[in-house]
Amino acid sequence: MYVVIMGCGRVGSSLADALTRIGHEVAVIDRDPTAFLRLDPQFPGRTVVGMGFDRGVLAEAEVERAEAFAAVSSGDNSNIIAARVAREQFGVERVVARIYDAKRAAVYERLGIPTVATVPWSTDRFLTSLTRDNELAKWRDPSGTVAVTQLRLHDGWRGKRVFELEEQTGSRVAFLVRFGTGLLPNAKTVIQAEDDVYVAAVSGTVAEAIALAEQAPDEE
């Protein structure tokens, strides 16, 4: 999937790096060229300098072929204008905007533009809104720092050990449900075909862990 992100602050850079790690193509727009230094040095996507609601800048980022667009700059007005231009003028199907003002957010939700508030798990929420339709976390601690979610595993994980799954997804396997019974695994536990696997992960990495678990295990 091709995703265009407007804003390369903490959320934008984290989102861009996470999307590329799970195999998506990404372009990032920011009016400050130094903002791109927040991206991973190996970031394989493209960077475009300019205002993200400017049609010319969006065209340079090839938004017309984008399947998703995230507006995550520091300004509510810029984010919502960019989101509306991406959706209404370029026909991008999945559009999400970060809005600081809760009252504004409610208005734009009614207009059909999903919004994300500035909460600790913004990256997870954007990843979920852009790449999938389900609610990703089954539980979060009160501070929003850690979440527990169920993974949908690629068939290649059958017969693999729990620690291999943890290494690939950057999460910790909290428990398994095997034949209807809960099981606390250890590093030597082998994943079986019908296991339901639940992992704990730091907010901001949950959606990435889910996506990586759906991919085949890395082979040595």
| Residue in this structure with the two tokens 């984008």, named with its chain if needed | 66
**pLDDT score recorded for residue 166:** 94
Please give the Cα distance from 32 to 56 (Å, whole number).
Answer: 17
pLDDT in single tens digits along all 220 residues of the chain: 999 999 999 889 999 998 998 889 999 999 999 999 999 999 999 999 999 989 999 999 999 999 999 999 988 888 889 998 998 899 998 898 888 776 666 666 666 666 665 544 455 556 665 655 445 667 776 666 788 988 989 999 999 999 999 999 999 999 999 888 999 998 789 999 889 999 999 877 888 888 899 999 987 5
**pLDDT score recorded for residue 129:** 59
Query: Where does the chain show beta strands of DSSP type E?
Result: 2-6, 25-30, 46-49, 68-71, 94-98, 115-116, 139-140, 146-151, 172-178, 181-183, 196-202
Name the phi and psi angles at 21, rounded to 5: -65, -30
**pLDDT score recorded for residue 38:** 95
**pLDDT score recorded for residue 162:** 95
Helices (H) and strands (E) in the chain, counts: 7, 11
User: In angstroms, what CA-CA distances link 164 with 98, 168, 180, 181, 192?
Assistant: 35, 6, 23, 22, 14
**pLDDT score recorded for residue 144:** 67
Architecture of the domain made up of 2-131 = 3-Layer(aba) Sandwich (3.40)
Q: What is the CATH number of domain 139-213?
A: 3.30.70.1450
Structure tokens at 191: 């994943």
103: CB partners within 8 A, 6+ apart: none
Domain boundaries defined on the chain: 2-131, 139-213
Whether pTM > 0.85 for this model: the answer is no
**pLDDT score recorded for residue 102:** 66
**pLDDT score recorded for residue 57:** 95
